């Protein structure tokens, strides 16, 4: 099972739209997928799922269980203020320490409205994942100018970017 983790809690995000596209690529390759959209994150996680409350928040535990059910994760990460969204860091911090992401294999897709396509966000998240003993696929895909690149039917306007996603999806299956 491959989990597509939408790395923002913004409703109807472009990251979710790209996750849907990515899921279709994985299905074409015969992979089973599930979504973990941080838009579904309970609003009280900050107060009720961290530190001494780890493992006690049932709604959060249901989201975390999706990670436990998968060995590979595709992170779809918009760049917020030159890094990845704080809500993703909150989600990671609320996972049980030495669990959650340990031993998982990860593919990273960055989305940015500028020319770098989330490069800084991908670098920061890679550092966090490596610290947590996750293996990060070297082929990180950056999607620049995502507000112009993503079409109304959730496709990518530039064939090269679509090809990079296909190649990454194939590499993730072999990883």
Q: Which domains does the chain have, with CATH numbers?
A: 2-174 (3.40.50.360)
User: In this predicted structure, what is the pLDDT of residue 134?
Assistant: 96
- 138 class by beta-carbon count within 10 Å (0-12 exposed, 13-18 middle, 19+ buried): exposed
Other C-beta atoms closer than 10 Å to the C-beta of 72 total 20
Which residues in the chain come in under a pLDDT of 50? none
User: In this predicted structure, what is the pLDDT of residue 51?
Assistant: 85
Report yes or no on whether pTM surpasses 0.85: yes
User: In this predicted structure, what is the pLDDT of residue 52?
Assistant: 82
User: In this predicted structure, what is the pLDDT of residue 49?
Assistant: 82
């Amino acid at each position: 099972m491959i989990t597509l983790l939408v790395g923002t809690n913004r409703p109807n995000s472009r990251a979710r739209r790209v996750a849907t596209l990515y899921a279709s690529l994985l299905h074409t390759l015969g992979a089973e997928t599930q979504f973990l959209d941080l838009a579904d994150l309970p609003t009280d996680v900050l107060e009720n799922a961290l530190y001494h409350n780890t493992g006690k928040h049932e709604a959060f535990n249901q989201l975390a269980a999706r990670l436990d059910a998968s060995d590979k994760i595709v992170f779809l990460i918009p760049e917020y203020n030159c890094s990845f969204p704080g809500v993703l860091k909150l989600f990671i911090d609320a996972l049980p320490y030495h669990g959650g992401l340990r031993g998982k294999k990860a593919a990273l897709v960055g989305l940015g409205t500028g020319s770098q396509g989330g490069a800084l966000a991908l670098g920061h998240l890679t550092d966090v994942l490596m610290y947590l003993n996750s293996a990060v696929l070297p082929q990180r895909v950056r999607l620049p100018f995502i507000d112009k690149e993503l079409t109304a039917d959730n496709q990518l306007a530039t064939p090269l970017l679509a090809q990079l996603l296909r190649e990454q999806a194939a590499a993730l299956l072999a990883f």
